[in-house]
Each structure stands twice: as C-alpha cells, then as structure tokens.
Structure 1
Amino acid sequence: MRGWDAERIAAAAGARLVEPGASASGPSRAVIDSRRAGPGDLFVGLPGERVDGGRFATEVLAAGAWGVLVGEQWAGTDGDGVVLVAADPLVALQRLATAWRRELGAQVIGVTGSTGKTSTKDLLAAMVDQQRRVVATPLNLNTEIGLPLTVLSAPEGTEVLVLEMAMRGAGQIAELVAIAEPDVGVVVNVGPVHLELLGTIEAIAATKAELIEGLQPGGTAIVPVDEPLLATHLATLPEGVTTVTFGPGGDVDELPEGLELRVGGDRLSAHMRSNALAALAAARAVGVEPTGRLDVALSELRGQRRELPGGLVVIDDCYNANPMSMRAALDDLAASTSGRRVAVLGDMLELGPDEVRFHEEIGVHARGAGLDLLVTVGPLATAMGPAFGGTTIAVDRAVDVVGALRPLLAPGDTVLVKASRGVGLEVVAQGLAA
C-alpha cells in the first residue's frame, strides 16, 4: 500500500479521513496489536470484549506509526500521523484488503479443509515460490481478521496469494471468499470437525463448499476425487468454473518424476502425499509446474520431527486434532518408525454428542497401528485406553505428562504428541526437548 496516499486508503476502506498526516506515501502493512505497531504501519483498533483497541491510538502514533483506523469515538485522537475513523473498523479493514487484492492483480488461491489445510498451504507456497512472487498466510492468520491482514502485508509485485481459510460456523468461509475473491479454491478434505457447532458431517461439507461455490467464472475448484459429501455442491458450481480432482484416479493422481518433495528433511508420508497432490493441482491452476528437489518447512506445531539428544524423536503435532488427523498421524508414526512407537494423545474437542465414540475409535486405530505405549491427556481421551488395550497411562493435565513419561522412554523411541489446541500439549514437546 506504499503507493496509496491517505485519501485513497480512506476511500478504499470506506472510512472518514480526520487527519491526513504528513506522509505522501501509504503504509506498508496493517496491524491490530498496538505493541507491534511501528513506523510505516497502519494500526487498526478493533473493539474487543474487554478493551477497544482504539484507546491505544494516541500511543501508537507517538511510536511513529503511519496512521490509525479506529471507531468514531476515537476521532479526536492526537498525534503525528493519519487518523481514519469508521463505524466498524473490522469491516473497513476487510474492504481495504479487497481493494488492495484488486490493485495487486495477483492470482489468489484459497485453501480450506477439515485437516491438513496448513500443510497444504505450506506445500503450495513452496511450489509456487519456485517461479512466482508469492505471499502465504503466516501462523494462524486464517480468519476474518487474519486473512485481510495477510492480504495487506503483500508488497507490490506479489503475483500469487495463498490464503488459508478457517471456519467454526456456517457462512464464515463465504465471508473470507468475499474479501479475498479467490481465483482457485482448494478443499483438502471433509471430516468430523466442529460437529458440536455444525451438527452433521453434511453441514461441515456445506461450509467447506462455500469456498468453491464463491468462485467466479474462469475459476478453478480443486477437490478430492470421489468425495460424496461434495457431490451436490460440485453439481451447482457457477458456470465457467473448472473442477480438478486429486488423489488416486483423479485428474492429479501422482507427483511428477522430476519433483522430489521433502518435508522437514523427510520423504512424504501417506497423508502428506495427498496434501501435496492438492497443492500440485493448485500450482498448475496458476501456471506453475514445480520441479527438482523442494524442501518444505511446515508451520510450527504441525508435525515437525525433532531429534533429541539420546536418540529420542518427538513428532510435534499438537496444534490441533480431530478424528481424521489423529488417524493420519498414527498411520505416519507406524510407517516411519523402526523403534518403539509412543503416542501422547489428548482430548479432541467440539465433536458433539458422539465425542466418546470418536475417542474410542482412535484407541482401536492406535492398536492397529502397532503403538507400544499410549499416554492419554484429559477426560475425553481416557476413552482411548480401554479401546487400545495395551500399555496405557492416563493423566489429567498436559503439565503432568513429562514427569510420568520420561522414565519410560529409551533411545530409539519416537513420541507423537497430538491433541486439540485447548489441551496445551506444546508443553510436552518442550519438556521432552528440555
């Protein structure tokens, strides 16, 4: 946005320009955390449950920020910099992001799915980066707030935006699509996630399908081959949208011989290979054919393998969990480990009335995967133990795991750590590493 002056920023955001400031150029990015706002930044003061971010506008300008975008009640903000006001700063932020997306003229790829959307985004960004200037969603900026911040961080000359899209309820992905206006929509998979809120797997499929249903003529919908939950949605896609399937028997069913993908230095696991096929289909949709060896770094807490002193390996996959991703992680543990297989598995949250059954099924799957030791964390995860039937330790809290587990570990063991984010299992991976 450097090339836009304050008046153009105001017009694009639908905001009122109260103070024009002295800078002839625009901001380099937008931020919502006043502690991170510095020179060249546009601080957007969003109202929160307890504090309205607009109250920090004066100190942000004193710190040298380019300007602030705040609610009407903060129109009297003092300081050297641009002051923009809007009835709803979040809506203004989203409108500004859409305007900047159009100004860039970049091709936009939206990625969603019940599991694996972050790793698919990471794989896709790495593929596209071989040939095009790409900006991808960092960390977990995949919501109605994070997505526009990602778009506004893209500098002039960006050719492809890879945007992860998350949801917790109906209509939320449609909202992100309206902001980003994607050219390509990728649905990685559909699984039992957020059942507590959405009720049925069919409702989950419908929310994921909001991405492809929002594509414009000329767009490309990328979906798993033969996914019955998406069939009705594919039949009603807008005219002029091309559908590309991935997976065995699909339009993209294998990686080309000239492409060698490594994730964290390792060869692709089975479920990561499926994600890679989805990423390859999306890369091709924007005219990129990746080649050669490509080393991909996954986002934090998404399955990184850490080799610790003493010959212990920890698979840090504790960012989130659902039945689909739990089974995939256990399968990968079974396929990639020659020593003892140990899993620290915590509660999977928001699964609705069948939550106990889902946890019991993971216990059965762990037995089939040849797990040697299971540690369950939390009240729901205890249901895995009897279904597993092998050596099991049940603990109530994540902070108690390391003390109970460490005396039982030996060189050559591999420990998978996975649960829903609310369980806080990152302390386990950190504790074992310490």
Structure 2
Amino acid sequence: MKLTLKETAKAVNALNDVSKYENIEITGAEFDSRKVKKGDLFIPLKGARDGHEFLEKARENGAVLSLWSKDVPTPDDFPVLIVEDVLSAFQVLAQYYLQKKKPTVIAITGSNGKTTTKDMTAFVLATTFKTYKTQGNYNNEIGMPYTILSMPEDTEKLVLEMGMDHAGDLHLLSTLATPDIAAITLIGESHLEFFGTREAIAKGKMEIADGLKENGLLIVPSDEPLLKSFLENISQEIATFGWDNSADEYVTVLAEKREETIFQFSFSEKIMEIAVPGKYNARNALVASMIARRLGVSMEDIAQALAAVELTRNRTEWVESSVGAKMLSDVYNANPTAMGLVLDSFSQMETTGKRRVVLGDMLELGEASKVLHESMSEHLDSYNIEKVYLFGKEMKVLFDKIVENFPKGAVVHFDKEDKQALIELLKNDLQKEDLLLLKASNGMGLFEVVEALK
C-alpha cells in the first residue's frame, strides 16, 4: 500500500493542519502496536485498553503516522491525523483505498460455510487473477477494513468474508465494500440468542445486498424459503444454487469418502473433487465455481484449483492422533444445521475401526438452545456411531435424550471444567483404526482436546 499523508488526511477528513508533514508516505496500516512495521499508519482503537496508550510502542516499531481521537491529548513530537472517531476513520480510509484500486469485490456470508467458500473462491480465482482474501476470521467491522488496507496494490479480485453478530453488521460491511458479487451460503441458527428467530437471521444475512453494485450478482441457496420475500426487493441479478434442477445451478454428489468428495456440476460434464469430506462442501465448491465462471475462469482451472484447495485450519481438517486414529477436527464454530450436516457425512465414512464423536456446546442459541441441542439426536444412532462424548452444560439435554438408545456406557457427558477427564478417556478409548469427529463452538475450546490427542 502507498498513500501520501495529504491524501490520507483528506480521505479521513482530518481536523488538524498536517501541512508540515506532507512528505510522509504510509505503506501499511496496523492496529496492533506489536505488529507495526516501518512505514505503517497506526490505528489506536479502543478495546479493553485504549490503543492511544501504545503509540510509543508503535513508533518504536516503525509507525510514521497515527490516527488520533479528538478527545485524547495530542502528542507534540509525532504526526497524527485528528479525527472524530478512529474506527470510523479507519473504515473510511479502507473504503477510499478500495475505490482507488478498484478490484472486483466478492462478498461471502452465511451461518455455515462462509470461510470454506471464501477459501475455495480465492483459490480458484488465483489461477487467473491477482487475488487477495480475508485472512483467518478478520470478517467484522475491524477485520474487513484491515483486510482491504492489507491487500497488495496489484490486487484484481478481493474476496471478503463478512461475519454477523447483530442486525446492521452486514449493512455496514456491504455498504463499505460495495461488492460486485455477493453470496449467502446458508441460513442457520448462529447467534439465534441475539436475533430471536431464523427469519430475523435471514433478514440480517440479506443486508449483504445493501451495498451490492447496481450491475452486481447475488448468489443464494434455492432451498431456503426464508429468503424469498426479501429477494422480491432486489433489483440486481439473482442466481440460486442447490441440489436439484429447482436451482439455477446444482451439484450432484457422486461419492463421499473419508478424505475427499467427488461430484459434478449442472453446468459441466467434468467430474470434480475436493480433498475434504462432506456433501455440504460440494455446495460450497459450487458457489465458488459459480463466482469463478462469472468472472471468466475456465472449467479446467476451476477443477484443478478445487482439487488442490487449501482451507483455513480447524474447518473440517483431518489430523492424526498419537495412536494413529484419524480425527476430523471441526472445532472453530457450530450451529445445529452445520453439526447435523457433518454428523450425517461422518456417519457414512468407511472405516475398519469404530466411529466416535465428541460434541461440545453450540453457543448463542438463546431460548431455543435446549430444543436445538436435543435435535442432534436425529443425526446419531448406535448402528453408525460406536460412542458419543458430550461436552458442556448445554449438551446434557442431548445426553438425556439419547442415552437409552445406545448400549450402556456408549454415551458419556462431561462438564466444561472436566476437559482433562475427557482427554484421558479419549486417550484410553481411541484405537489406531478409529475415526473421531470433534465439533463444537469455538468457545468450548475443543482445539485443546485435538492438540492433546495429537
């Protein structure tokens, strides 16, 4: 990134005179003072600590300029841009840089699958274009402007993951990024505690279209009736995806294996594969491919990229335990729709050993938590799953629901405080030929269980 102080000051509507510093050029932006590099603009955000307190550290690490809140005493010996609100100025600067560089912007959201779809989309587009994507889970009002200001100057396609915790979140992100293409992967139950109903979640997800360019494309699932009433108000082009010809484009799964899924798209005779399990991931690949085709990527390049795609860690990731058992780690987030999908796929995976599952609490489900945790019983049976390890207070209702349907001792429950006991039992139970699925919300810390078993 290269921005002069003068254009930066103009972009953020700086309140102070910075003429004496006009020769300064910034080559990056950073809000973590420990990560500041030479030439960076420091963004002192307010969190548990006020970022303004860390100016000296940022300066030591090479910052050449800082945004600065008008309510904080101004340093005498360091150039700052005084603004009404640092976070808003950060976002406005990102918007300015985006409009200056003009990459094609692809925005992706969904209750499940948005990170995987983002990764697949970026990987496929990178076969043909200079592509940059949201790193990790930097998908909120801080992470997205950070992503934009971190993209290389020659970026042609920018793939942005957009997260949502509350109503209005996606409106802000979409109107900031003004995407050319927007996609909704799934309407699930994530953050039901804050939204109350799935209908409200659907409405929140549709905010991704609020900033969609007039000639833009919105991609949505065909099998989600909650979206239909909102789509009536969309003037831009809409394309649907799904499992059958009721969708504009659909995917047919030909084989589900432990470490790959083989499928075919409606728009190509080519047999496709991805090195991750689960038919739901074939749907994610369909969305990525629809975006890529729209932008001119060949089917040959799409197929080769999907076969080699590298996904963000802890999202349907196979790892091996110390005794040789294969573990399917999907511990970054969880909602009932996502947990049901991965359980269904895992239950059919071939193995000469036993299938075991560790399920932790799904958080932020509000008053529906009991019913939704109990509903996982529909995806668990003793014929396909040898043993079920339930972890957390919310999972106690699932224990009570299924314990009589399994042999004695085949369903066990642990409180969150008993993580070490869970680890020890798993170490005792796991055999070399076994398959183990671990799925929970990130807040349950099941990644620690994965690491202990490795």
When the two structures are superposed, what TM-score results if normalisation uses the length of structure 1? 0.93
Partner of 2:329: 316
Q: Report the AA paired with residue 413 of structure 1.
A: D
Partners of 2:133 and 2:147 within 8 A in 1 = yes
Q: Check if 1:296 corresponds to 2:314.
A: no
Q: Report the AA paired with residue 336 of structure 1.
A: M
Q: Report the AA paired with residue 432 of structure 2.
A: P
Gaps of 5+ in 2: 252-264
Match of residue 363, structure 2, among 349, 353, 368: 349
Q: Report the AA paired with residue 379 of structure 1.
A: K
**Aligned-pair RMSD on alpha carbons?**
2.0
Partner of 2:294: 285
1:366 deviates by 1.7
Partners of 2:278 and 2:342 within 8 A in 1 = no
Match of residue 65, structure 1, among 63, 66, 71: 63
Q: Report the AA paired with residue 54 of structure 1.
A: H
Match of residue 192, structure 1, among 180, 184, 189: 189
Offset from partner CA, 1:33-85 (integer Å, 9 cap, x none):
1111121221100122x4210111133113211321121244522555x4222
Q: Check if 1:412 corresponds to 2:433.
A: yes
Partners of 1:112 and 1:188 within 8 A in 2 = yes
Distance (whole Å) between structure 1 residues aligned to residue 20 and residue 44 of structure 2: 18
Partners of 2:94 and 2:148 within 8 A in 1 = yes
Distance (whole Å) between structure 1 residues aligned to residue 337 and residue 143 of structure 2: 25
* Secondary structure of residue in 2 paired with 1:65: coil
Partners of 2:176 and 2:211 within 8 A in 1 = no
Partner of 2:107: 110
Counterparts of 1:207-356 in structure 2, within 5 Å, are 207-237=204-234, 239=235, 241-247=236-242, 248-249=244-245, 250-254=247-251, 255=265, 256-258=268-270, 260-263=272-275, 266=276, 268-289=277-298, 290-294=301-305, 295-338=308-351, 339-356=353-370
1:11 deviates by 1.1
Counterparts of 1:36-115 in structure 2, within 5 Å, are 36-48=35-47, 50-74=48-72, 76-79=74-77, 82-115=79-112
Instruction: Identify if the C-alpha distance between structure 1 residues 89 and 213 changes in structure 2 by more than 3 Å, giving closer, same or farther.
Output: closer
Distance (whole Å) between structure 2 residues aligned to residue 346 and residue 116 of structure 1: 19
When the two structures are superposed, what TM-score results if normalisation uses the length of structure 2? 0.89
Q: Report the AA paired with residue 381 of structure 2.
A: R
1:370 deviates by 1.7
Identity score, percent: 34
Offset from partner CA, 1:143-184 (integer Å, 9 cap, x none):
011000001111211111100111111111001011111111
* Secondary structure of residue in 2 paired with 1:336: coil
1:334 deviates by 1.9
Q: Report the AA paired with residue 61 of structure 1.
A: R
Offset from partner CA, 1:9-38 (integer Å, 9 cap, x none):
111122245656868463333211111112
Q: Report the AA paired with residue 394 of structure 1.
A: H
Q: Report the AA paired with residue 115 of structure 2.
A: T
Gaps of 5+ in 1: none
Counterparts of 1:360-379 in structure 2, within 5 Å, are 360-367=374-381, 370-379=384-393
* Secondary structure of residue in 1 paired with 2:346: helix
Match of residue 138, structure 1, among 132, 135, 139: 135
1:322 deviates by 0.4
* Secondary structure of residue in 2 paired with 1:367: coil
Between 409-418 and 246-255, the greater mean CA deviation after superposition:
246-255
Q: Check if 1:427 corresponds to 2:452.
A: no
Offset from partner CA, 1:173-222 (integer Å, 9 cap, x none):
00101111111110001112211111111100000011124322100000
Distance (whole Å) between structure 2 residues aligned to residue 78 and residue 57 of structure 1: 12
* Secondary structure of residue in 2 paired with 1:354: helix
